[in-house]
Structure 1
């Protein structure tokens, strides 16, 4: 049975397996929408909140959300992955090589 013919529940289980087994990114709702998930240079906080809210709405309906989040956490990614931005991954205990803006925001909130 091909991936196209599989029931969604079976497909979801297959995608959630080890990341190397299947190119899970092909099933991501964000495919082709890169600008929505990565901040442009000098983005204002209000613009970031609006952009991330739109991105999260796609993540929340995505069948590969958990795999995506795990990938970002394990690979120290920037941007919004699996409904989490780099600050949220950092606060969840996953180290990142944070840009200056993130370091300063986290220092102020501590």
Structure 2
């Protein structure tokens, strides 16, 4: 099972409830059939909550951190987290997938075509120096 570092939220009650739920985690079951592989997204905790996993235009860093903390907590309790993360890495997806942000995927060597976040800032710095 893939578990990334848990970011603390601004609300101690949420953190306590989350820590109680994490203790109940079980190892994610690997898909065994083609239909399971194709339909893994139907079982995802994020289904119907896309605004939490994709940044709005001009999102501030503090808002991004709060949004990603909430997304991370859903991902950590998701039965298809491993499939989701693998899909995002293989398809160079934008957004928060499988408990990992675009920046985290970039730092792990998986990048998107038009970068945002840390990679975009690095490109801007290199252009300014030249």
TM-score when normalising by structure 2: 0.65
- Higher relative CO (CA 8 A, sep ≥ 6), structure 1 or 2? 2
* 2:86 match: 70
RMSD between superposed Cα atoms in Å:
2.5
Gaps of 5+ in 1: 1-8
In structure 2, do the counterparts of structure 1 residues 100 and 86 end up closer, same or farther at CA, with 3 Å as the change threshold? closer
**What is the count of residue pairs matched by the alignment?**
98
Q: How much has 1:97 moved relative to structure 2?
A: 1.3
Structure with the bigger percentage of helix: 1
Q: Which runs of 4+ in 1 moved over 6 A?
A: 17-20
The separation in 2 between residues aligned to 1:67 and 1:18, in whole angstroms, is: 13
Gaps of 5+ in 2: 1-25, 126-130
* 1:4 match: none
